[in-house]
Amino acid sequence: MRRRRLFWQLYPATLLIALAALAVVALDTTSSLRRFYLDRTAEGLESRAHLVEDQIVPLLVAGKYAEIDSLCKELGRRSSTRLTVILPSGKVVGDSLEAPQEMDNHGQRPEVIDALDEGKGHSLRYSQTLHETLSYVAVPVRSQDKTLGVVRAAVSLAVIDSALWGVRKHILFASLLIAVVLAVASLVIARRIVGPLEQLSHNAEGLARGDLGRRLVAANSKEVGDLAETLNKMAADLEDKLATVVRQRNERDAILSGMVEGVLAIDAEERVLSMNSAAARLLGVDSARAEGRSLPEIIRNIDLHKLVAAVLSTHQPAESEVEIRDREPRFLHAYATVLRGAAGGRPGALLVIHDVTNVKRLESVRRDFVANVSHELKTPVTSIQGYVETLLDGAMNDAAQREKFLKIVAKHTERLHAILEDLLTLARVEQEGEKRDLLVREPLRPVLEAALGDCEAKVAEKRMRVALTCPAELMAALNASLLEQAVVNLLDNAVAYSAEGESIEVECIEGEREIEIRVRDHGCGIAREHLPRIFERFYRVDKSRSRESGGTGLGLAIVKHIVQLHGGRTAVESAPGQGSTFSIFLPK
Amino acid sequence: MSIHLQREIDNLKRDLMLICSIVEEQVQKAVRALFARDAELAHEVQAMDEDVDRREILLEEECLKTLALHQPVAINLRQLIAALKINNDLERIGDLAVNIARKAVDLASAVTVEIPADFLDMSEQTQAMLRKSLDALVQMDVALARDVCICDDEVDRLKKKIRGQIEGQIRDDPERTGSMLRLLSVSRNLERIADCAVNIAEDVIYMVDGRIVRHQTD
């Protein structure tokens, strides 16, 4: 519905009422004025007729009609009145304007009839004689109870009207003036009523748009002022409540974003209601883009979806392991419960997500370690056992066989020893890590030179060359014996996996925050899928070959442990056939 | 636009995304089964295909129902058409992943063959393309979709290279011809998955821009 403005409801109505009242008053005044004027005229005419009556009586008695006529003409001229003398028979004997002989019988004129019957007659009518409207008053002329005739006095209404017109003009003029004043006055009044309301509604619109700081001005009238105050109070309340809501939301967001666990709220349509930053990070999605979208849209993971679908359909809590196959695969443990009342209507689901990647990896590392260590130890022990039994069964009597078997036993014992040695080293490194004053600030070069010296025999055996590039002044916080062990392990590997005659480069590079010790060989290289796990204990790239080459499978694990004790990290770059580069990064 | 139509389209979108996640997982698992020689994982991929086929048919029926019932126009029509086509491509990708999984089962039981290094690159590229095209679908991102179309050349190049390497290995060691041929077929399947990803990307461009960009050489 189109609503009219209050001003246009108020202003024309008041103006119309005022003008109508004015018009009624003006019309009433003029009409009663006219009536009053006519009455006065009639009274004047009557008295004039009576005046004439006295003069006429003797003439009528005498029957001097000519004189009556001339008297009429004389008196009529002097009093600007039409005077007529009529006999009871209706015959006109004198008239101030016309010749009586030419006039018709006036016996049937209403005023004459009235005068004869009632002693006085008055009528307003059109004169056939003069062709204009006249006011007639007729009185009978009596003498000794005998009606001699009728004297009639008349005045033209045109004269009265012209006199009245002047008055009417005055009244009209005054009315117009009052009308104009009224129009202006009611305009002002309407504006004064509507103005504050408009202002109020304008300000209230501001409030509605959310500009809650805005306050309404109390208008001069009580009602509008009260309304403004009520609205102000409402705005203040609203502002308060909003501030509370915002504060609570900020608190909630702060709590949620401070959590390590991912929290994800989903409605019944599987749309994401909200998620905290941990959930966004764990699931690898952009939380700003996620809200309001459906879960399959933001993360394509069938396990997660199945979990959510199960909770949404059964309304029972459920949990499941979810694997996120991103650039860095993550294992998540998701626990889902029913979320009631968050979005109204049907319940949604609330997911709490833990990152169990590390737990999983540790689990698999430990399992692998136990399996590997028993396998690694078992292989030489089984061999030793077999050969010793063979010897005892009689082979020890054969000198040639005895020596061959004992040599094999010796080799496996050596290997067993090497593994135990490495395991002890590993244990020692782990223990060393608990010491406080482990690291000393020392030049790096002597450590590397010592490591090269340790490997000299093996290098010479394969006719290889090792090039060392290290600035003598380079210092680092290190534990000389442990770091030497780490570099020796890397060099051992480099030698073992290179062909004869190849070269090895050991370099030290000073970076901005780290010192890199780089050991590069030109050997067979390592396939990419092995690289992430190569520093794990007993992890072998090629299960058969490395054991023959004398490795225990613990070398790189020891390196990693030592470097971790130094607060550094290890890295490897390699491609099959293109050699490998192992790097140790020590913090400066 | 009616609220009903919007709701239908939202539901369709969600179902399509579900198929996307299953198919993406199928491809990932198939490739992982191949490299890890994990027959069990490969069987899992084959089992998942049933679910994909069922969902594909359901989605297609829903699409057709919505088309007939609401007679959508403009973007809504394009969304439905694109959903139909993408649905088709996804099912195809699922089948290709199953093919790879079958070969993985065969290879797992056969003698160890060295998988050429470029295979890892190629499978990663293909998976990245698939991921990108699905991301483009979710985000209605034309730029990302165009990116996918460009990546296809790299996959084709890798496929050619792998083919050369496999030919060389067959010449060197004819005894392993069977395994090598299986690997060749895997590379072909990967390349076809990449092609399907390109199709999806092109459908995304069509859905957003309303332009058909197939068979253009720019």
Q: Last residue of a domain, which of A404, A432, A460?
A: A432
Q: What is the mean pLDDT of residues A189-218?
A: 78
Asked if the structure places residue A175 within a domain, the reply is no
CATH number of the domain encompassing residue A564: 3.30.565.10
Tokens coding A438: 């482990």
Contacts of B10 in chain A (CB under 8 A): 269, 294
Does residue A244 register a pLDDT over 90? yes
Q: What is the mean pLDDT of residues A255-277?
A: 85
Per-residue model confidence (pLDDT) at position A24? 92
Per-residue model confidence (pLDDT) at position A578? 82
Minimum Cα–Cα distance from A301: chain B residue: B21
Q: Which range (A79-83, A176-180, A531-535, A558-562) has the least confidence?
A: A531-535
Q: Domain check: are A21 and A135 in the same one?
A: yes
CATH number of the domain encompassing residue A308: 3.30.450.20
ipTM value of the model?
A: 0.71
Interface check for B88 against chain A (CB to CB < 8 A): the answer is no
Smallest CA–CA separation between A327 and chain B, in Å? 10
Asked if the structure places residue A296 within a domain, the reply is yes
The whole model's pTM is what? Answer: 0.53
**Long-range contacts, stretch A355-358, CB < 8 angstroms, 24+ apart:** A355/A260, A355/A262, A355/A282, A355/A330, A355/A331, A356/A321, A356/A331, A356/A332, A357/A329, A357/A330, A357/A331, A357/A332
- Bridging pattern class, strands A503-510 and A465-469: parallel
Asked if the structure places residue A511 within a domain, the reply is yes
Asked if the structure places residue A82 within a domain, the reply is yes
Query: Could you give phi then psi for residue B187, rounded to 5 degrees?
Result: -65, -35
Asked if the structure places residue A169 within a domain, the reply is no
Q: Domain check: are A560 and A445 in the same one?
A: yes
Contacts of B138 in chain A (CB under 8 A): 293, 297-298
Per-residue model confidence (pLDDT) at position A246? 93
Minimum Cα–Cα distance from B139: chain A residue: A297
Contacts of A302 in chain B (CB under 8 A): 18, 21-22, 25
Which helix (H) or strand (E) is A28 found in, with range? helix A6-62
Q: Domain check: are A282 and A299 in the same one?
A: yes
Q: Domain check: are A505 and A472 in the same one?
A: yes
Contacts of B83 in chain A (CB under 8 A): none
Q: Which CATH architecture has domain B3-209?
A: Up-down Bundle (1.20)
Partner-chain residue, chosen from A270, A300, A527, that has the shortest CB–CB distance to B21: A300
Per-residue model confidence (pLDDT) at position A435? 67
Q: Last residue of a domain, which of A347, A379, A408?
A: A347
Residues 6 or more apart whose CB falls under 8 angstroms from that of A57 comprise A141, A143, A148
Instruction: Answer for the pair B148, B205: CB distance below 8 angstroms, yes or no.
Output: no
Q: Do B25 and A528 touch (CB under 8 A)?
A: no
Q: Which range (A349-353, A469-473, B194-198) has the least confidence?
A: A469-473
Q: Do A296 and B20 touch (CB under 8 A)?
A: yes
Partner-chain residue, chosen from A289, A296, A298, that has the shortest CB–CB distance to B18: A296
Q: What is the mean pLDDT of residues A370-385?
A: 81
Contacts of A529 in chain B (CB under 8 A): 35, 120
pLDDT band at residue B190 under the 50/70/90 scheme: confident
Q: Do B21 and A576 touch (CB under 8 A)?
A: no
Domains of chain B, by residue range, sit at 3-209
Q: Do A529 and B120 touch (CB under 8 A)?
A: yes
Q: Domain check: are A275 and A381 in the same one?
A: no
Q: Domain check: are A17 and A67 in the same one?
A: yes
pLDDT band at residue A543 under the 50/70/90 scheme: low
Does residue A344 register a pLDDT over 70? no
Contacts of A293 in chain B (CB under 8 A): 138
Range of the domain at A306: 259-347
Q: Domain check: are A289 and A366 in the same one?
A: no
Domain tally for chain A? 4
Per-residue model confidence (pLDDT) at position A56? 80
pLDDT band at residue A238 under the 50/70/90 scheme: confident
A91-119 b/e (C-beta count within 10 Å ≥ 16 → b): bbbbbbbbebeebeebbebebbbbbbeee
Q: Last residue of a domain, which of A118, A137, A163?
A: A163
CATH number of the domain encompassing residue A377: 1.10.287.130
Give the full edge-to-edge strand order of the sheet including A146-156.
A92-95, A82-86, A146-156, A133-143, A121-126
Q: Domain check: are A387 and A473 in the same one?
A: no
Tokens coding B46: 């084959």
Does residue A459 register a pLDDT over 60? yes
Q: Domain check: are A10 and A147 in the same one?
A: yes
Q: Cα angle vertex A407, ends A406, A408, to 5°?
A: 90
**Long-range contacts, stretch A313-321, CB < 8 angstroms, 24+ apart:** A315/A347, A321/A356
Does residue A245 register a pLDDT over 90? yes
Per-residue model confidence (pLDDT) at position A547? 54
Partner-chain residue, chosen from B14, B28, B139, that has the shortest CB–CB distance to A296: B14
Q: Domain check: are A426 and A503 in the same one?
A: no
Instruction: Answer for the pair A539, A533: CB distance below 8 angstroms, yes or no.
Output: yes
Distance of alpha carbon A148 from alpha carbon A151, whole angstroms = 10
Asked if the structure places residue A200 within a domain, the reply is no
Q: Domain check: are A32 and A54 in the same one?
A: yes
pLDDT band at residue A20 under the 50/70/90 scheme: very high
Q: Domain check: are A446 and A378 in the same one?
A: no
The chain-wide mean pLDDT, for chain A, equals: 82
